[in-house]
Structure 1
């Protein structure tokens, strides 16, 4: 068993929430939410404990509890045999033996498919990245809100993605008995817009933010930014602008394009393979517009090649699409064979760990919200995240290198197509960050 040594800010958070059995630790990325959350679970001292997290984090949570809390029986509930063991321990009342305490870890996508979890009683529920239940109409959110835990621990560095209305599902778990309608009336400003056949309510701002923060604190929520407690190196952002291609301009105007697939190993980039892009609705048009700013943009691919050849330092590269990775990987191989990849199908970090000149490609959904990459101090954003939770992904991706243990200044390079959807996307991400930061400011 390893002995835990908490940092002063972690001790302070635990003491501040000692009277609460339902807490939310909204700690900035890199402040050790894992250690604080697990210790709170231990202090709550329930026989049954359920951790719901991202799939990529299950092994980390299992290992953490085994390493620091050996008295727990720790089970990975995505494995059939261990899920059966977990159920048997509950069904046979073995958990009422004071010497038997169990922790089960499961990912969000699997949890709502385990109906028997709704039968759990007198247990502690911990949600890692609780921002993943901000949409109360999603299946996983509905399922979790049906559960009846005795104690709750919520963990997130970006609890709202800059949208305060998204806090409602989390305040329910904290025991704040307020209806969604009352919550919106109290803190959210809306207006109705006419869209022809119907009207739609849209959020235009927020009100009574200080009162909201006070109520959250009264229900066990703690907000803490990195700069409040730790002196980390400066963060430096740099935009690298490239011209829009004629193909991008044509597609935006016509919602249709036949172009060529690109290949970094082919002279002149373009292969003989035709690709037809049809933006027959707003979603597909946005999708292909983004790809024309990414994997189909020769100008941006050339800018990426110039950038990676300008340094021999470790680089982290965030990307969105599989085809995007394919061509970026080809370009990277021109510089170095030391390449790592982290996505939904692959987790190979050997090159990152071993080589100073390595290039590590990370897909947002697989690695933006977890992982320590402070051996690197440079991140390249080839394309930006877009859609629900995009502000969370972007903000957390930056913290993969800007965290405890980082000694160098952190550099973030944004490859952007000038005058395109990408500039609007970055502006929207920054607006969401500003609203999130407001919750973290001291009253």
Structure 2
């Protein structure tokens, strides 16, 4: 398998290490670097933990480029594991497979290792208990800009610093009298943190350090609002057809404001339809909710591909230049190679910074030869404008932030 020079460099820098983290920017080919490192470590048993949407990609990758026996662990019951094998399982199921705790003398690879940023989650606690001899972490956004979420990955790399000491040394916190808790306001000693990470096998690499990719063009499209949005923003309750939208909590109000700005806005749906019909190029559309998917499918008259929690089918994307690919953030913002397209439409915005940043790299990556265009469809006077501001700051637009702004 022929690697790019930057991929060989990452492997050379970590040749003598058996616990490594390849924090390569999205599009730099972490899959190839990680799998080559696994091959170099040469253990008989290997475990790959990834997102559900990436299982088939990893299976195909290993079957194409290596001689491993590939076993998708969430699709079959296993009584014994043959040597020279790779087990593949998704994050949502791994912690339910208690038999993995018995596995010894193996290499573990975590694809998108930022998934274990919450060390108190079932998946993270289980993964931290696994007795892997070797560890490979892969991520383009290991922290999503939040260094406090790095601790679980540090633990796997062998840095046995406590969470309390880590927070004290690298995170700035201020006491919030109103909510009786500490709020994170910034970071300190970041250069020292990165140097320490390098000593523990972490390699950081940005796209601009390696390739001159085509220009990125972002375009904000202002879409007319609706009476329903304005009424709900004022009264926190509205009936639409046979549905009652009741914003009696910050969470529900935020949710319905987002939906009223997207799927319940006929002006936005019409704009998407016109945009799709105005080009013969491939288009990628990111969305959040099942209702949005249903509405988008109804208005599209071209070949459709989709990646969501229920299905992944990229046949139309691969075969038709005028196809439309609908991607739900949670299922497809990470890991997909979609550089055949150069146009992404954000029908609605995610409230997760990491998913937002990852989504933009689906088209702007190695192999892209054309300028990339991002169309952000924002309903006038809606919550979407503030969401985009926060996402550009690489922060999550949380329920707590929404509630705080509502009080103001």
| TM-aligned CA deviation for residue 349 of structure 1 | 2.0
Q: Is the 8 A contact 2:53 2:312 kept in 1?
A: no
| 1:240 aligned to which of 216, 221, 225 | 221
| 1:379 aligned to which of 326, 344, 360 | 344
CA RMSD of aligned residues (A): 1.5
Q: Is the 8 A contact 1:369 1:397 kept in 2?
A: yes
| TM-aligned CA deviation for residue 433 of structure 1 | 7.5
Match of residue 303 from structure 1: 271
TM-score, with structure 1 as normaliser: 0.86
Match of residue 66 from structure 2: 69
Match of residue 429 from structure 1: 391
Query: Is the alpha carbon distance of 1:127 and 1:138 closer, same or farther for their aligned partners in structure 2, counting shifts above 3 Å?
Result: same
Question: In terms of mean alpha carbon deviation, does 390-399 or 244-253 score higher?
Answer: 244-253
| TM-aligned CA deviation for residue 222 of structure 1 | 0.7
Q: Do structure 1's residue 118 and structure 2's residue 101 form an aligned pair?
A: yes
Query: Counterparts of 1:399 and 1:281 in 2: how far apart (Å)?
Result: 34
Query: Counterparts of 1:410 and 1:222 in 2: how far apart (Å)?
Result: 27
| 1:366 aligned to which of 331, 337, 349 | 331
Partner SS, residue 80 of structure 1: coil
| TM-aligned CA deviation for residue 185 of structure 1 | 0.6
Question: In terms of mean alpha carbon deviation, does 134-143 or 425-434 score higher?
Answer: 425-434
Tell me, which stretches of 5 or more residues in structure 1 are unaligned?
A: 90-99, 260-272, 435-443
Match of residue 347 from structure 1: 312
Query: Counterparts of 2:136 and 2:311 in 1: how far apart (Å)?
Result: 30
Alignment of 1:30-45 (within 5 A): 30-45=27-42
CA offsets, 1:385-419, max 9 Å, x none? 12xxx222111111111111111000000001233
Match of residue 118 from structure 2: 135
| TM-aligned CA deviation for residue 282 of structure 1 | 1.2
Match of residue 200 from structure 1: 181
Q: Is the 8 A contact 1:312 1:357 kept in 2?
A: yes
Q: Do structure 1's residue 318 and structure 2's residue 313 form an aligned pair?
A: no
Query: Counterparts of 1:311 and 1:102 in 2: how far apart (Å)?
Result: 46
TM-score, with structure 2 as normaliser: 0.94
Match of residue 359 from structure 2: 397
Q: Do structure 1's residue 329 and structure 2's residue 302 form an aligned pair?
A: no
| TM-aligned CA deviation for residue 73 of structure 1 | 2.2
Q: Is the 8 A contact 1:162 1:431 kept in 2?
A: no
Question: In terms of mean alpha carbon deviation, does 406-415 or 294-303 score higher?
Answer: 294-303
CA offsets, 1:9-47, max 9 Å, x none? 001000001121100000011111111000101111122
CA offsets, 1:48-68, max 9 Å, x none? 211100112112212222222
Match of residue 221 from structure 1: 202
Partner SS, residue 126 of structure 1: strand
Query: Counterparts of 2:308 and 2:70 in 1: how far apart (Å)?
Result: 26
| 1:20 aligned to which of 17, 31, 56 | 17
| 1:107 aligned to which of 90, 100, 117 | 90
Question: In terms of mean alpha carbon deviation, does 209-218 or 348-357 score higher?
Answer: 348-357
| TM-aligned CA deviation for residue 234 of structure 1 | 0.8
| TM-aligned CA deviation for residue 133 of structure 1 | 0.4
| TM-aligned CA deviation for residue 111 of structure 1 | 0.5
Match of residue 152 from structure 2: 169
Q: Do structure 1's residue 80 and structure 2's residue 76 form an aligned pair?
A: yes
Query: Counterparts of 1:290 and 1:194 in 2: how far apart (Å)?
Result: 31
Match of residue 145 from structure 1: 128
Partner SS, residue 169 of structure 2: helix
Query: Counterparts of 1:433 and 1:20 in 2: how far apart (Å)?
Result: 33
Tell me, which stretches of 5 or more residues in structure 2 are unaligned?
A: 397-408
Q: Is the 8 A contact 1:122 1:150 kept in 2?
A: yes
Q: Do structure 1's residue 416 and structure 2's residue 378 form an aligned pair?
A: yes
Q: Is the 8 A contact 1:395 1:433 kept in 2?
A: no
CA offsets, 1:72-126, max 9 Å, x none? 2221111224x3232xx4xxxxxxxxxx322111111110000111122221110
| TM-aligned CA deviation for residue 314 of structure 1 | 1.0
Partner SS, residue 59 of structure 2: helix
| TM-aligned CA deviation for residue 166 of structure 1 | 0.5
Equivalent residues, number: 396
Query: Counterparts of 2:390 and 2:162 in 1: how far apart (Å)?
Result: 29
| TM-aligned CA deviation for residue 347 of structure 1 | 2.2
Match of residue 404 from structure 2: none
CA offsets, 1:250-280, max 9 Å, x none? 2122221112xxxxxxxxxxxxx32210112
Match of residue 294 from structure 1: 262
Larger Rg: 1
Match of residue 262 from structure 1: none
CA offsets, 1:119-169, max 9 Å, x none? 222211100000100011111011111112111000001111111100111
Query: Counterparts of 1:299 and 1:79 in 2: how far apart (Å)?
Result: 43
| TM-aligned CA deviation for residue 370 of structure 1 | 2.1
